[in-house]
Amino acid sequence: MDREALRSLLRHKRSLIDPSELGWPLRTGRGRRSAGLSQAQVAHALYVSERTYAQLERGDMPSPAPEFLDAVSTVLRMAEPERGALYVYALGHEPPVPMNPEAGTRVDPAWFTAVQGVSGVPCYVNDVAWNLLAWNDDFLRMFPRAEGAEPELPERNVMRWMLLREEAREHHLLDWAERWAAPVAAQLRAAVAAHPDNPDLRQLDAEVNDDPVVGPIYRRHDITYVQQDGDTRPVRHAGLAAEESERCCEKHTPSARGLVTLCAAQPLGSPGARFFFLVFRPLTG
């Protein structure tokens, strides 16, 4: 716990809220003149005693309940990063899930410019439900395509494509059953559990569960969430003209077999969204 940081954060957020906005009358006589809400007013809004709230602000509450911290962040109108700081200062760790149900569904427009400005390495940003938000041309060139076809997205939702589409299972994602299906399905299960109200995740959950190929894998109890950052998996890359390129089938142009390392990061303003660099290394011999 960082008592000084906690105290400063809470005092600052109190100072920004006009008591009249919460129905408190303007004070004209003697008494407190500092800006913003008093500790007593915050406590009243939280339905707790002034002493209880004061304990939190002083850093004397050893293990405040997450529900209490969420109530404080709501009353003090904290943005998601501020709520994260509240958890870190009070409990020593970040919140397990975002408070805003729409968190992770969009990113700052600067991400679009940044991603599209990257060349030489495929990269993209997806939201909490694996809907693509931004990508570069190198990412488009990775996917198998028909002769003469321009590179394009095979599917706007990356999770749906990886788990449900024959093109991914049979052509692009090598050793799909062993190296892709279980860890990717586990990531989906973890996301559904963390964001049960997200309609896109609920739809994915139903589609994957009902699929005769991946459904039995998805329902297994022995699969667990796998950290995706730094994971390396085998793929075909259609955008490389390597000597080792070959056709996966008559339908698609030649592609190079290789290993892709998933380098992941999270946009700070959009918890649950992910930014990926896909570092590809061709297999030789």
Q: Evaluate if residue 225 carries a pLDDT over 70.
A: no
Q: What is the CATH number of domain 3-91?
A: 1.10.260.40
pLDDT confidence band for 199 (50 / 70 / 90): very high
Q: Which residues have CB under 8 Å from 39's CB, separation 6+?
A: 14, 50, 53, 54, 57
Question: How do the domains of the chain map onto residue ranges?
Answer: 3-91, 110-282
Most confident of 85-99, 105-119, 124-138, 188-202: 124-138
In the prediction, which pLDDT does 195 show? 81
**Across 91-116, average pLDDT:** 81
53-95 pLDDT, tens digit each: 999 999 999 889 999 999 999 999 998 888 889 999 999 888 8
CATH architecture of 110-282: 2-Layer Sandwich (3.30)
Identical fold between 3-91 and 110-282: no
Please indicate whether residue 281 or residue 148 has the higher confidence score (pLDDT).
281
Give the torsion sign (CA, 126, 131, 137, 141). Answer: positive
**Across 242-248, average pLDDT:** 67
> Residues of 178-215 as b/e, b for ≥16 C-beta within 10 angstroms?
ebbbbbbbbbbbebbebbeebebbeebbebbbeeeebb
In the prediction, which pLDDT does 123 show? 95
Please indicate whether residue 20 or residue 73 has the higher confidence score (pLDDT).
73
